[in-house]
Amino acid sequence: MAIQDIYPAALRLLGRPVLVVGGGPVAARRARGLLDAGAQVTVVAPLGCPALEELAGAGLLDWQPRPYRSADVDGTWFVQTATGDAAVDAQVAADAEAQRVWCVNASDHGASAAWTPAVAVVDDVKIAVNAGGDPRRAMALRDAVATALHAGDLPLRRRRPSGAGSVALVGGGPGDAGLITVRGRRLLGQADVVVADRLGPRELLGELAPDVRVIEVGKTPGHHPVPQSGINRILVNEALAGHRVVRLKGGDPYVLGRGGEEAEYCRQHGVEVEVVPGVTSAISVPAAAGIPVTHRGLAKGFSVVTGHEELSEVPARADHTVILLMGVGQLRGSAASLGRAGLPAGTPVGIVENGYLPNQRVTIGTLGTIADQAEAAGVANPAVIVIGDVVRVSPFAPPHFKTADYGTTSPNAPRVPAR
């Protein structure tokens, strides 16, 4: 049989009788697949493997523990052989051929009237691959296609209306397209409408199909062209119109991203909503500059606040990392607040602008100097500000910031600034 002789088709076997001849692991796998399709499965085999016995014991199929008889094919819609005995499989195939019943002959793919493809399911898409009768090759190709679909590299978007719409709040990470989650990338590829922030993986918007609508709702400090109430209404209205909506955010939707408000508004209006966590910039952007937010011997915890929040309740210790988001405009006041709370003026501070992007820039100083340094350098949002001894670990830190020991070989030894 040549591959050109194959006519691909999908069989609807719901409620229809099918026959599996054989009792080994292959027969059990084929029987389970047929059961998943809703078929009424009869298995004929003198002996059955544990997997087959389990299916029969659960009442999911009819197992006839005896040798095959030609009459077993009568009234069936589809036959699968898997006895391991070429002569028996050939007889089953010949009996099926005589009754014009499609049969997969596991012992001789070249003579088989039908082939069983390698199958994978991604959402409501079923992938079936034939590869010239080479099952391992077919499985490798199937896995590659399924992986690409899972990753959003292949289009999963529906082209026909599918009924009710939905909203997915997707955290896009700090901006690099490679840092969005696999789930987020897949949902983006399925979207009819994308409601996009100014931050996040903007590069991915250029990969959307031409008919996907992108609604820009990005905010900058002090300038909100679309207020949050308007964003909420857009999400609900688009979903109620039957669209699959992705709210693409920078970072994580539930970390200072107002995702909780959007999810609540959707639920209040009867719209299905899914939240996809993202790589929050509070942790990832410092890492882009080699700054861990915790480090053994230097810091055991951290606080994340915006530059607009009151800082008096934050632990004022160099061994507790403070991370400021959207804090450039209030940096001088924030530094003064932390100083009044007791944080020493010599506490290291790092600012990372445009984390993971080509124009990333790192500015490092102390609590007493960082505001002047930032103004002189023209530091601007988007930026993450890190305050605490963990900044000493950064490869961008000046030599005199380095500690005598910030490794883990003697974690309980005191960290003394190098002289």
This prediction's pTM = 0.64
Give 355-390 as a 3 state SS string: CCCCCCEEEEEECCCHHHHHHHHCCCCCEEEEECHH
Confidence at 408, pLDDT banded by 50, 70, 90: very low
Q: How many beta carbons lie within 10 A of that of residue 178, not counting itself? A: 9
Q: How far is CA 411 from the centre of its chain?
A: 36
- Given a cut of 90, whether residue 412 has pLDDT beyond it is no
User: If pLDDT is split at 50, 70 and 90, which confidence band does 208 have?
Assistant: confident
Q: CB of 45 within 8 A of CB of 55?
A: no
pLDDT digits (tens, 9 = 90+) for 137-180: 888 888 888 887 777 777 776 665 666 899 999 999 988 888 99
pLDDT of res. 161: 60
Six token digits for residue 127: 């992938």
Catalytic annotation present for 402:
no
Q: DSSP states of 321-367 as a string?
A: EEEEES-STTHHHHHHHHHHTT--TT-EEEEEESTTSTT-EEEEEET
- pLDDT band at residue 1 using 50, 70 and 90 as cut-offs: very low
Please say whether the beta carbons of 261 and 228 come within 8 A: yes
pLDDT of residue 24: 93
Mean pLDDT across the stretch 290-316? 85
User: Is pLDDT at 129 greater than 90 in this prediction?
Assistant: no
Q: Are 90 and 112 in contact (CB under 8 A)?
A: no
Judge whether residue 364 has pLDDT over 60: yes
Pick from 99-103, 115-119, 406-410: least confident = 406-410
Q: What is the pLDDT of residue 139?
A: 84
Q: Please, which pLDDT band fits residue 209 given cuts at 50, 70 and 90?
A: confident
Q: Report, as an integer, the average pLDDT of 320-329.
A: 91
Q: What percent of the chain has pLDDT over 90?
A: 59
Domain 166-279, architecture per CATH: 3-Layer(aba) Sandwich (3.40)
Model confidence at 416: pLDDT above 90:
no
pLDDT at 357 over 90: no
In a 13 Å sphere around the CA of 198, the CA atoms on its Cβ side amount to: 11
pLDDT at 387: 95
Domain assignments of the chain as residue spans, ordered by start: 3-116, 118-150, 166-279, 283-401
Topology agreement, domain 166-279 and domain 283-401: no
Residue 225's CB is within 10 A of a number of other CB atoms, namely 10
- Estimate the crossing angle of helix 331-340 against helix 370-377, to 10 degrees: 170
Q: 7 pLDDT exceeds 90?
A: no
| Average confidence score pLDDT of the chain | 87
Provide the pLDDT confidence category of residue 411 given band limits of 50, 70 and 90.
Answer: very low
Q: Which has more confidence, 401 or 370?
A: 370
Closest C-alpha to 202, from 382, 379, 395: 382
407 or 283, higher pLDDT: 283
Q: Which of 162-176, 207-221, 363-377 has the highest mean pLDDT?
A: 363-377
Tell which wins on pLDDT, 44 or 124.
44
pLDDT value at 102 more than 60: yes
101 vs 391: CA distance, rounded Å: 72
Q: Are 10 and 116 in contact (CB under 8 A)?
A: no
Q: Does 219 participate in catalysis according to the annotation? A: yes
pLDDT at 190 (0 to 100): 87
- Catalytic residue, from 72, 197, 252, 389: name it: 197
How confident is residue 257, by pLDDT bands cut at 50, 70 and 90?
A: confident
- Under CATH, which number does the domain 3-116 receive? 3.40.50.720
**283-401: which CATH topology?**
3.30.950
Identify the pLDDT of residue 414.
43
- Catalytic one of 85, 219, 319, 402: 219
The proportion of the chain whose per-residue pLDDT surpasses 70, expressed as a percent, equals: 90
Given a cut of 70, whether residue 341 has pLDDT beyond it is yes
Specify the higher pLDDT residue, 326 or 34: 34
